[in-house]
Structure 1
Amino acid sequence: DDILQELIEHADPPSYQDMYTFILNQLLFLTFVSIHTTTENGTIVLYRLLQHPQIIKELLEEQKYVLEQEQEDQQKTSQQKGSTNMKNNLTSEVFTADTIKKMVKLDSVCRETFRLRSQFYELSHTNVSDHNIVLSNGTVIPPDGDILINLWYNHHNGNDDLEEFKPFRYVDSGYPSTKVGDNYLVFGEGKHACPGRWFAMQEIKTIVSLLIRNYDLCAVDEVTFPITRIGLPYGKVTIAKRQ
């Protein structure tokens, strides 16, 4: 079943909402989190590349290397199978899930971009118990009290260079863009971490890969990044088809 069927069969709307309104609201929410956020974050990655255009060359070189390795692997497989149509079996120009996964520099750019993006308070929580919750630093959260997490602090707590954008900070670090933790809360954490983050990152990296491969992207104006939760980077950009 798809998500719509699951909602129809198992939805439990609140007393003030009929089933149709509840399902429509849920579908609108799912559309937002699955399409809007992916598009938004993909755009932010592109603007980081426009702000640091030298990175694009390295990412294109990585693409070339990964695709060539993919072609060699396909040649070996075809030879082992004794294929008589080996040339036609080669698909080195196609970005698959495996080829995208091997682009570790691109993945690092994405994680670093998202780390620096989060300069706000988010991930609100409410004390739903009937007693005070006392944190280790003595802070008291009363019943029905709300708290938010300072993402800027979590994403800048540690090394002295965390204010700097270092695109390849996470290459060979064991921290891919989908790995959550106290120092990387873009996708949440724990049992409530975004379950679709692997697919979302696959989409973002595929979009970015295809755009830099097929088009020359250039920032005409200075690229500016907002520090608020709402808003996208801005600055005039030119896009030209690669010859």
Structure 2
Amino acid sequence: MLGLVSNSPGLAASDALKVAIPIGIGLASAAYLTMKAVASDGFGSDKTIPIASLREGDSTHDKEFYEDQDAFVERCQAENGDVFGVYLMNLNQIVVSGPLVREIFMNEDFNFGDSADQLTSMRSFLRPMTKAQVEFDSRIVHGLVRDNITPHLPQYTARIVLQLEKNLDIEMAKYRTTNKREDGTFLVEKPVTVLQQMVANAMATVFVGPEIAKDRHVIETFISAMADLAKLGGNGKARRHSVWKNFVRRTKHRIRSPLQNHIQILAEAATPVVLERRRLEKEAEAKGEVYERPDDIMQKMLDSFDKHHFVDLEDVCGYLLFLILASVHTTTDTSTNLMFYLAAYPQYIETLYEEQKEVLDQIQKEREALRQELLAKGEAIGDDLDPNEDRFLSAAAIKRMVHMDSFVREVFRCRAECLTLGHRARKDVTLSNGMVISKGLTAIINMKSAHQSPNQGEDVTEFRPWRFVGKPKAATKAAADFLPFGMGKHACPGRFLAIQELKTIGVLMISRYSMLEIQDPSKTKQILRSRIGTPTISGLIFTERK
């Protein structure tokens, strides 16, 4: 059933020809498409869609947008209504706002992957990950998360917490030793590097199991693969559509994608572990015993090998790497931003700390009551009620920390880029207001209209961390008024794992540090609105709890 990988061959001559032959055609095609894009207005056939005016002296909307996203979107919407065209990131795009946003997410004729690929050539980059599936957009990844991660999240939480704690202490000890200041605080120049190690190690234990997670080369390749992925997006004004740049990227990725090296490293580390697991399984079967299957995602994928039509172990590792990339990249990024929000609003740290203590105190009392009840009945106290585990950060404990949940959701709400989550039309689509978004155009979402709508409560332009306390608006709830994870059946299936990990990181930080400060306060506003993948532009100063 399971074919193990062999050494990956180099680029064969026939493969090289497959790349070389289309180059001449591709160059001509790229030039033609570029001229065609410039020559046409590019905003589709529906002339009822207004086009946002340009400032005097501007040839695109990029400069005004990046100077002040909120002001730009507010001006355009006031002048044009909920639907209007903009020339942004070297693309003609249709901004969709308010109630119409739901129609973009729920209509299958709009595709997020098409839009992302247009800007980044993402699909050619990811192609080496999948052997079994012709289309990477298949629902297999969604199903792997839905079936194998989300239902088992409570049992994975203990493993994740222990790994996060371990790596937090290891990484912070380095800075405490080398960057300690006279007042006892210490500086971490690049907090993202600490969080990379924390998240990569925690995710490795869940996805590939503790044996493989111990291999430092595997952890390093996860972090390196994340860096390769981040390069696709560009930063700020560099994130612009280019027919030529995408052509070069796709050609290069056809020859050799950086991910092939990462997949090979993971496959080489996994091979002896899988072989040993198979040996133990056969040994148990020969003895008539039930084999105790390892509890990690790799094993669950191997057990469903035929169901998903995997080709070999390398194919399994490709999908594993994608899952790890998605979780490590986004969770590292958002947890870094969470740390900066804690630093920007230090007045809320003690409330979060007190909540943490109160929740753990209450759980300790409940567990003690259960122990006393068992003793009164003369029954034995099991390992699940070990007093040493009373104050452990279980999934149940983290769920009770409603202020932390609200804080995390508010960070997402305030941080979101004003225009993002583009969806490209695969055919002409008529919106409920009668406007038509033509095939090939991208409908880009006005997040400001959703995240700063009146139904968010008062002072929607301000950061109010307790905004959602006592309301049925958990940080995992994807809806029309909370769009970081999308909505509908295409909503991010990994959001439950991501939010659980984010809250755990927040709890661990405030349990150890009474104050976080931004090293360069002048960069605060820019940092708090930074988009995913933007490099950290300031360090953080940590004050340890006495």
1:171 aligns with 2:469: yes
Task: Please state if 1:148 is matched with 2:444.
Answer: yes
Q: Tell me, yes or no, if structure 1 residue 67 matches structure 2 residue 360.
A: yes
1:154 CA displacement: 1.3
Residue 46 of structure 1: CA displacement?
1.6
Against the structure 1 CA distance between its residues 133 and 64, is the aligned structure 2 distance closer, same or farther, given a 3 Å change threshold?
Answer: same
Contact 2:450 2:481 in 1 (8 A): yes
TM-fit CA distance, 1:85: 7.3
> Which SS does the other structure have where 1:12 is aligned?
coil
What is the CA-CA distance between 1:100 and the residue it aligns to?
Answer: 0.3
Q: Tell me the SS of whatever aligns to 2:460.
A: coil
The one-character-per-residue Cα deviations of 1:90-127 (angstroms, maximum 9, x if unpaired) are 52331110000000000000001100011232222222
Q: CA 1:190/1:84 → structure 2, altered by over 3 Å: closer, same or farther?
A: closer
Is residue 195 of structure 2 the alignment partner of residue 195 of structure 1?
no
Q: Which has the higher helix share?
A: 2
Q: Secondary structure at the match of 1:79?
A: helix
> What corresponds to 1:12 in structure 2?
133
- Are residue 204 (structure 1) and residue 514 (structure 2) matched? no
User: In 2, are the aligned partners of 1:71 and 1:90 still within 8 Å (CA)?
Assistant: no
CA distance in 1, matches of 2:255, 2:538: 43
Matched, 1:38 2:327: no
1:187/1:50 Cα in 2 relative to 1: closer, same or farther (>3 Å)?
Answer: same
Deviates more, 1:170-179 or 1:112-121: 112-121
* Per-residue deviation, 1:160: 4.9
Q: Partners in 1 of 2:366 and 2:405 — Cα distance?
A: 22
Higher mean C-alpha displacement, 176-185 vs 81-90: 81-90
Choose 1 or 2 for highest CA Rg: 2
Secondary structure at the aligned position of 1:191 is classed as helix
TM-score by length of structure 2 reads 0.39
* Residue of structure 1 equivalent to 2:525: 224
Residue 136 of structure 1: how far off its partner (Å): 2.7
Report the CA distance shift for 1:160/1:167 in structure 2 as closer, same or farther (over 3 A). closer
* 8 A Cα contact 1:112 1:167, kept in partner: yes
Q: Give the secondary-structure state (helix, strand or coil) at the position aligned to 2:389.
A: coil
> Mapping of 1:23-172 within 5 angstroms?
23=315, 27-82=320-375, 89-129=387-427, 132-158=428-454, 159-172=457-470
Alignment correspondent of 1:237: 540
Per-residue Cα deviation, 1:12-33 (whole angstroms, up to 9, x for no partner): 236x799x96957655543331
RMSD across aligned C-alpha pairs, in angstroms? 3.0
d(CA) in 2 for partners of 1:54, 1:8:
45
Q: How many Å separate the matches in 2 of 1:67 and 1:241?
A: 21
**Deviations, residues 148-190 of structure 1 (Å, cap 9, x unaligned):** 1111221111145110110000001110000111110011100
Pick closer, same or farther for the CA change 1:187–1:17 going to 2, 3 Å: farther
CA distance in 2, matches of 1:233, 1:108: 24
Write the distance in 1 (CA, Å) between the matches of 2:334 and 2:351: 21
Matched AA of 2:485: F
**Contact 2:359 / 2:401 at 8 angstroms: preserved in 1?**
yes
Change (3 A) 1:9 1:45: closer
Distance 1:234 1:77 in 2: 50
Letter in 1 for 2:323: L
Report the TM-score when normalising by structure 1. 0.84
Corresponding residue to 1:185 among 471, 483, 493: 483
Aligned length: 233
Identity of aligned residues (%): 34
Q: Gapped runs of 5+ residues in structure 2?
A: 1-127, 136-253, 261-313
Offset of residue 61 of structure 1: 0.5
Please list every run of 5 or more consecutive structure 1 residues that lacks an aligned counterpart in the other structure.
1-6
Which range moves more in the overlay, 90-99 or 22-31? 22-31
